[in-house]
Amino acid sequence: MASGHSRPLVGLLWSLLIAALLLVLVPVSPPQGDLRPVAPPSVASPPASPPRESAEPPPPEAAGPTPPAPAGHTAVVHVFLAAGQSNMSGRGLPSGGAYDPADPRIFQYGAKNRTFRAATVPLDMHDSATGISPATTFAREYLKTQPRNVSVLIIPAAHGATLFSSALDKLTWSVGVAADPKFDLPALAVAQTREGMAAAKAAGYSVELKGILWHQGESNSSISTSAYAAELDELIAFFRSRLSSSKLPFIAGGLSPEGIAATPGLANIDKAQRETPSRVAYTGFAKAMAGGVNQGDRTHFSRVGIEFFGKTYLSAYRQAIGNTGQQLTPITQRTLMVFSAGS
């Protein structure tokens, strides 16, 4: 048995032995200030690059609504000369405002404001129009049949109360009669058309002359069917020659049935106009509707009558395009040769 003095020594020896065993059996880790697990080092990523513009279109839901094409940026302009007297100028009521919102595909080159610009209601005619014109309703119907890249340019050249006349000092549609250029409506209409086409081309459009819209006759009730037919055929030949388009479609619009019934002599004009497609190739006749006149008026078409004309002028335009088998009348043949030689 160990003595009392040896017991502390034995205890110390046992303590040293246990410490030695612990050093052998338990690895000693270096001291750490933070006992939380340390994430392994990550591989450095390259710096983020700016977003790349994809060559592929975004999905439909991300693309947003397609913005409408700005006015004046359609690729092709189809040109129509609107000539004659008051009904072509525009007397259809009611008109303007909410009835006639602006159409970004219909333009005009006005008789007074000679700029290529959006069409208005009323149009900028040679006189002071007061209502909607069949040229406008025709353009609306026509564009329904055309691709979206096509627009219409109206050349508004009509003037109320004008006629075929031999008077030297008044506005006239008779070819080569006016003594003063300011009275020569056919020549003025041609000049306005040429200017309008040039303005559209200068604005970057592809321009195509497509036709002539005609409404006239109320002021010529005193002449015969044959006399009116001769004047009209000569005018058609003049327009085609001066505008360098021998097959340019020409559409004549019918007079109001109420006016024909009330005015002696208008039946002669109506007959001459209806027979135009059988006399002259590439012409058509647009029927008028009964009851389509302004209240208390037997001559001027109301909005209803003008909208009806929009459809019948389009139908007559198609008729004119297909009217290729008819022979020109002798006067038209002679006039064409004279104009062609002098142009």
Question: Which residue from 113, 129, 109, 112 is spatially nearest to 121, judged by alpha carbons?
Answer: 129
pLDDT tens-digit profile of 241-263? 999 999 999 999 999 999 999 99
Residue 163 near residue 265 (C-beta atoms within 8 A): no
Length reported for the chain: 343
Tokens 């939380």 label which residue? 36
pLDDT tens-digit profile of 280-298? 999 999 999 999 999 999 9
Q: Is 127 left (phi over 0), alpha (psi -120 to 50) or beta?
A: beta
Whether the CA torsion 243, 284, 184, 209 is positive or negative: it is negative
Note every long-range contact of 197-201, with CB atoms under 8 Å and residues 24 or more positions apart, other chains counting: 197/79, 197/153, 199/109, 199/114, 199/115, 199/116, 200/77, 200/79, 200/107, 200/109, 200/116, 200/153
Residue 323, CA distances (Å) to 81, 241, 282, 319 in order? 19, 18, 5, 6
Secondary structure of residue 100 in the 3-state scheme? coil
Amino acid at 314: L
pLDDT tens-digit profile of 3-35? 445 555 545 555 655 555 444 444 444 434 333
pLDDT tens-digit profile of 210-237? 999 999 999 999 999 999 999 999 999 9
Mean pLDDT over all residues of the chain?
Answer: 83
Whether the CA torsion 278, 281, 287, 293 is positive or negative: it is negative
Per-residue pLDDT band for 328 (boundaries 50, 70, 90) equals low
pLDDT at 205 over 60: yes
Q: Is the pTM of this model over 0.85?
A: no
pLDDT higher for 65 or 323?
A: 323
pLDDT value for 18 = 56
Give CA–CA dist 131/145, Å, rounded: 25
Per-residue pLDDT band for 73 (boundaries 50, 70, 90) equals low
Question: Which residue from 292, 287, 293, 305 is spatially nearest to 137, judged by alpha carbons?
Answer: 305
Residue 52, CA distances (Å) to 48, 56, 60, 249, 341 in order? 11, 11, 19, 54, 65
Q: Is 220 left (phi over 0), alpha (psi -120 to 50) or beta?
A: alpha
pLDDT value for 231 = 98
pLDDT at 110 over 60: yes
Give CA–CA dist 165/172, Å, rounded: 6
pLDDT tens-digit profile of 120-168? 999 999 999 999 999 999 999 999 999 999 999 999 999 999 999 999 9
pLDDT value for 324 = 95
Q: For the sheet containing 106-109, what is the strand order?
A: 116-118, 106-109, 150-156, 76-84, 206-215, 250-253, 283-286
DSSP code for 146 = S
Give Cα 148 to chain centroid, integer Å: 8
pLDDT value for 65 = 33
320-340 mean pLDDT: 62
Give CA–CA dist 156/280, Å, rounded: 24
**Looking at 37-41, 159-163, 300-304, which range is the least confident one?**
37-41
Question: Which residue from 320, 105, 111 is spatially nearest to 213, judged by alpha carbons?
Answer: 320
**Looking at 65-69, 82-86, 178-182, 242-246, which range is the least confident one?**
65-69
Going by their DSSP bridges, the two strands 150-156 and 283-286 should be labelled as unpaired
